[in-house]
């Protein structure tokens, strides 16, 4: 799978526009693919506030207020890191919804990273709504394919969250 699900992206757009709500993303492992995905929607500027790609601890701590001691301890790959990214990108971008994602798209054997996985978090109004660990299917080891997998998985999860969340009045 090396494309993004534009149908799901446009369904997210429709839900958010009908609710007069917005979305922002803070990503690491997906390297900007979520930003590309949401900016590809029709009328993207009417619901997508933007995103930030932070690859290292310094930038995650500076822009999204990740605790540097925690970040150093886990190489910035943890459920707590994803939660911090999603919650703080809501305020950073003044958005109703935020997505945070961090993880590994390729192994780093010299650092003991032999398994591919990521953590995502979806926040509404700065509070985490859903989070989990994502693992690519066995045999998927191409970093770009892994990034597409993470991106599409999170898009589908966000669509499910939005579809099953009772509409709140916009702030």
Q: pTM for the full model?
A: 0.93
Q: What is the arrangement of strands in the sheet containing 127-134, beginning at the earlier edge strand?
A: 48-53, 23-27, 97-103, 118-124, 127-134
Look at residue 168 and tell me if it is in a domain. Answer: no
Total domains in the fold of the chain: 1
pLDDT at 44: 96
Is 171 within a domain? no
Q: Which residues of the chain have pLDDT under 70?
A: 1-2, 167-171
CATH of the domain at 127: 3.90.950.20
**Among 26, 27, 29, which Cα is nearest to 103's?**
29
Residue 168 confidence (pLDDT): 53
CA 134 to chain centre: 12
Q: Is residue 58 part of a domain?
A: yes
Q: Is residue 120 part of a domain?
A: yes
Number of helices (H) and strands (E) in the chain: give both, helices first: 6, 5
Range of the domain at 42: 6-163
Q: Residue 163 burial (CB < 10 Å; 0-12/13-18/19+)?
A: exposed
Q: How far is the C-alpha of 165 from the C-alpha of 40, rounded, in Å? A: 24
């Amino acid at each position: 799978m090396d494309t993004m699900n534009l149908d799901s992206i446009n369904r997210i757009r429709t839900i958010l526009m009908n609710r007069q709500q917005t979305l922002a993303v803070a990503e690491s492992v997906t390297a900007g693919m979520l930003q590309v995905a949401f900016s590809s929607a029709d009328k993207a500027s009417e619901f997508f506030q933007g995103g930030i790609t932070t690859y290292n601890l310094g930038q995650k701590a500076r822009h999204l207020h990740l605790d540097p001691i925690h970040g150093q301890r886990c190489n910035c790959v943890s459920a707590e890191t994803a939660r911090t990214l999603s919650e703080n990108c809501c305020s950073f971008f003044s958005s109703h919804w935020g997505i945070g994602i961090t993880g590994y798209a390729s192994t780093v054997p010299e650092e003991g990273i032999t398994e591919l996985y990521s953590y995502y978090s979806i926040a509404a109004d700065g509070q985490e709504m859903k989070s989990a660990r994502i693992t690519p299917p066995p045999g998927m080891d191409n970093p770009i394919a892994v990034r597409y997998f993470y991106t599409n998985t999170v898009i589908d999860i966000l669509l499910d969250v939005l579809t099953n969340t009772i509409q709140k009045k916009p702030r």
